[in-house]
Amino acid sequence: MEEKSTFWKSAMVYGLYLALVLTLFSVILYVSGLILNTTVGYISIVIMIAGIVIAQISYRNKELKGAITYGQALGFGVAIMLFAGIVSALYTLILYTFIDPALIDQMKAMQEEAMMQKGLSEDQIETAMSVASKMMSPAWLSIMGFVGSVFSGTIVSLLTSIFVKKEGNPDAFDEAMEEVKTEE
């Protein structure tokens, strides 16, 4: 009996590993007081890219015997970020709901300050902040984090799959048949 594909199982495992690393990085940023620092936050993008590439290469070499198409690598990268996004969304929900609900107020204050620096009027700032306040609930931030993870994982996978793909030997069947004919 043919063995079932390990695509989803492998994607889940690698996605959970990547989510664990990203969550640990986020906890380090939180503890060090840098969680709202967007510049330092870009490191998480590098972690995500590295995680996807490592997982794609490992999946190609261990599960697919060294050959993976562009489409398989792309799908695997997106699936990894699907699982990582679920875990990250749960972490975001827990962080902003239970651990530190005041972070949302800090984010709102940062946005308001940025709008003031751009020279917006008080009415414009008030209007923008009323819209932003509705979108800055823990649930909404979690949903947007999940969607953002899958979207960014898709973009990254579109690029990394170009370099990870490795076609199998198209003449392998002919070579095997030549060996059989020479043995006769």
Lookup: tokens for 177: 């048949």
| Mean pLDDT computed over 3-18 | 88
Q: Is the pTM of this model over 0.75?
A: yes
Task: Count up the domains in the chain and report the number.
Answer: 1
In a domain, 117, yes or no: no
Which pLDDT band holds residue 168 (cuts at 50, 70, 90)? Answer: confident
**Residues 42, 47: Cα–Cα separation, whole Å:** 9
Whether 105 maps to a domain, the answer reads: no
Q: 144 in a domain, yes or no?
A: yes
For residue 127, give the 3-state DSSP assignment: helix
Residue 82 forms part of a structural domain: yes
- At 89, list the tokens: 């969304």
Establish if 159 belongs to a structural domain: yes
Please report whether residue 36 resides in a domain: yes
Amino acid type, 144: M
Q: Which long-range contacts (CB under 8 A, 24 or more apart) does 64-68 make?
A: 65/168, 66/166, 66/168, 67/166, 67/167, 67/168, 67/169, 68/164, 68/165, 68/166
Give the burial string for 66-94 (b: 16+ CB within 10 Å, else e): eebeeebbbbbbbbbbbbbbbbbbebbbe
Q: Is 179 domain-assigned?
A: no
107 is a domain residue: no
**How do residues 132-156 score in pLDDT, each as one tens digit?**
888 899 999 999 999 999 999 999 9
- Domain of residue 71, residue span: 7-100+138-168
